[in-house]
Amino acid sequence: MLEKIKHKLSVKTWWFLYTAFFLMWLKTYLVQRFAFDLPIQSLFQEMILLITPIASVILIVGFALLISRKRKVWTIIIFSLLSSILLFSDLVYYRFFNDFITLPVLFQTSNMGDLQSSIWGLIKPTDILIFLDTILLVFIVWWKKVSSISIRRSQLVSAFAVAICFLLVNWSLAEMSRPQLLARTFDRQIVVKNIGAYNYHLYDLVLNTRMTSKKVFADNEDLMEATKYIETQENTNEIPSDLYGIAEGKNVILISMESLQSFVINETLYDQEITPFLNDLIGESYYFDNFYHQTGQGKTSDSEFIVDNALYPLPSGAVFFTHAQNTYYGTPNVLKDEGYYSAVFHANEGAFWNRDVMYDALGYDFFYDKEYYEVNEENSVGWGLKDEPFFQQTLDKLEDLPEPFYTRLITLTNHYPFEMEEEDLMIPFFDSGDATVDQYFSTVRYMDEALKQFFEDIKQTDLYEDTIFILYGDHYGISANHNEAMSLFLDKDITPYEHVQLQRVPLIIHIPGMEGKTISQIGGQIDLRSTVFNLLGVDNKEALTFGSDLFLPNKENKMVILRDRSFITEDVVYTAGNCYDRGTGEMILSDTCELLVEQAEQQLDYSDEIIYGDLMRFIEEDADKVEDELGEEDAE
Ligand code: GP9
Ligand code: MN
């Protein structure tokens, strides 16, 4: 097709167009490859990065030709300048935040404040090279006396078709490299690495337009409707449990245990306990053995969202990414009024899962990300800093925090693909032949040991007695793709019913000085917020939340709803259109579940609407209005 275009255009014109295309492509590739610090790990990724700018540059040149009638040459030059400005801005922002700019952040001036003050320190003299293509094009126009371009519509259409082909190729390669890349959006660096900077901005624009339109049509009435629905739900008018206020004024340490599922608790592999420390800790804690994760595509970030907001994550995408600009009454925000300081500790990139932005929205005072840890080759494995040094380094920081504090420590070593170094191996690999399952037990065993160390160390400090510890599994570690190996380990078939049961994750609430017990009633991550508030004796009536205190007896209609729309009640398990007896796992008549299915869907839909419509912003507006009215009355 390009041949055809080439043929029918004058030599000077096509030479100019090809040069413009080539220079813009080269500039973009070089900036993406060498100016940013994108983690390129293979030849395949090198190749993807090489082709990412092709489609967008054809589109940029094509668009310049399309919109301009007489001054096509200069429009192309202006577009090349604009693309340089975009790359340059991305680069400056990246050097400061180690992240890529998003549309909402662009308008969030508070985020830019720090950047403005240090902007000159972020610019390097070599950055001028980003503008070299524009300078060269101006020179070519002058030298070759290129004055006009005449191009037919059909030729432009052909060029756009070529661009779309490249876009599709790029997209398929990106999907091969990172399945569900755009659906899940876990890390903007990974998105840029796979689709390029320009496409990333386009994608960000589409994502935000979609979200904004949903938000625009929401109003106060939606808030009232959601409030009314929540009032009919189980977590209102609760009588406080015996433990209400038992931990008043105490520090809270939540430990998010990466990929930990309940099936390893109190279980052995080759006669060795897989989680010896947790098994002991359970003996002196409240342990919930029918507690489910409720995460979706946002994995760890979804679990954080649920725990801090008592709302469900979204059916697709990570809410940490898609709705970080919403108004939230996150736990840290609520506890601030009670004099709490809040922080998250996690030795990964701050921008991963958009945490750097979302934690602000949730009201965290500080995020100790990778930058605050000493991470080197010796103390890292797989995804980064090993859990043992992570806990050691975190404890030093915890000791310096203002008290009382509300904190979350996020572990990392037990992350897929469960890599482990020989020296840390404390339990042999399983031998199913499925590497994921076989290695899982060894990283779980390592995490267990790291937790043991942490508890031993913190007991040596003054913090221990003044703190409650809440340990929970963030989501499954072994997906349904490994059912065969799992059925070997568990010695039973993994039916859809068993699959739901495998979504149980451990929840251990350790309150120093209290004996604890095992509680077997059903619960989910969405119940954690009410549970924490009740332990601390804090009431929060403002926010729209779901879930109920796990220390209270469940109401009869209690349901634990998973994000894939499966649910669990005390009597039944419902998944993939089928209803099962919870006790026996036998399939039963779907009539039994029919009404419940509707109820579960309704609850998820209300939660989604709260997020899509950003409904809690209206609570704020209402409160402001009341305050204004009171102010006016006072003035009178
Ligand atoms: C990344 C870590 C793991 O920072 O939390 O994320 P995951 O892939 O489990 O969601
Ligand atoms: Mn995780």
Could you tell me whether strands 467-473 and 507-510 are parallel, antiparallel, or unpaired per DSSP bridges? antiparallel
- The verdict on residue 635 lying in a domain is no
Burial zone of 120 (CB within 10 Å; 0-12 exposed, 13-18 middle, 19+ buried): exposed
For residue range 242-301, list pLDDT tens digits in order.
899 999 999 999 999 999 999 999 999 999 999 999 999 999 999 999 999 999 988 999
pLDDT band at 120 (very low <50, low <70, confident <90, very high): confident
Nearest residue (CA) to ligand 1, atom 5: 300
Query: What are φ and ψ of residue 508, in 5° steps?
Result: -125, 120
For residue range 579-626, list pLDDT tens digits in order.
999 999 999 988 899 999 999 999 999 999 999 999 999 997 666 655
Cα dihedral across residues 86, 87, 89, 90: positive or negative: positive
* Ligand 2 centroid to residue 473 C-alpha, Å: 8
- The verdict on residue 100 lying in a domain is yes
**pLDDT of residue 629 exceeding 60:** no
Which own/partner pairs from 261-264 qualify as long-range (CB within 8 Å, at least 24 positions apart)?
261/473, 261/476, 261/477, 261/478, 261/502, 261/503, 261/504, 261/505, 261/506, 262/289, 262/291, 262/473, 262/504, 262/505, 262/506, 263/490, 263/502, 263/504, 264/441, 264/444
**pLDDT higher at 630 or 555:** 555
- The verdict on residue 416 lying in a domain is yes
Write down the pLDDT at residue 625.
Answer: 59
- CA-415 nearest atom, ligand 1: 9
For residue range 388-446, list pLDDT tens digits in order.
999 999 999 999 999 999 999 999 999 999 999 999 999 999 999 999 999 999 999 99
Q: Is 367 found in the same domain as 311?
A: yes
CA neighbor of 471 nearest in space, from 272, 296, 288: 288
Q: What is the percentage of the chain residues whose pLDDT exceeds 90?
A: 76
Q: Round the average pLDDT of the chain to a whole number and report it.
A: 91
Q: What is the rounded average pLDDT of the residues 43-69?
A: 94
Q: Is 191 found in the same domain as 42?
A: yes
Which of 166, 188, 213 delimits the end of a domain?
213
Write down the pLDDT at residue 10.
Answer: 72
Q: Sheet holding 572-575: strands in order across?
A: 560-561, 567-568, 572-575, 578-581, 587-588
* Ligand 1 centroid to residue 155 C-alpha, Å: 46
Q: Is 300 found in the same domain as 200?
A: no
Q: Is 289 found in the same domain as 184?
A: no
Q: Is 500 found in the same domain as 415?
A: yes
Nearest residue (CA) to ligand 1, atom 4: 348
Sorted by sequence, the CB contacts under 8 Å of residue 323 that are 6+ apart come out as 211, 314, 611, 612, 614
Ligand 1 surroundings by CB, under 6 angstroms: 299-300, 346, 348, 352, 410, 412, 415
CA 124 to chain centre: 32
Q: Is 434 found in the same domain as 449?
A: yes
Q: Which residues are catalytic?
A: 300
**pLDDT higher at 158 or 116:** 158
- What's the structural domain count of the chain? 2
- CA-348 nearest atom, ligand 1: 4
Flag the least confident range among 236-240, 303-307, 416-420, 446-450: 236-240
**pLDDT higher at 70 or 114:** 70
Ranked by mean pLDDT, the top range of 173-187, 511-525, 607-621 is: 511-525
**What number of other Cβ atoms are within 10 A of residue 378's Cβ?**
9
Task: Determine the structural domain holding residue 480 and report its residue range.
Answer: 220-622
pLDDT band at 46 (very low <50, low <70, confident <90, very high): very high
* Ligand 1 centroid to residue 526 C-alpha, Å: 19
Nearest residue (CA) to ligand 1, atom 3: 300
Q: CA-to-CA distance for 138 and 140, rounded, in angstroms?
A: 5
Q: Is 232 found in the same domain as 203?
A: no
Write down the pLDDT at residue 306.
Answer: 98
Q: Which two tokens stand for residue 211?
A: 């979200």
Reported pTM:
0.81
Which of 213, 240, 260 delimits the end of a domain?
213
Which of 195, 213, 231 delimits the end of a domain?
213
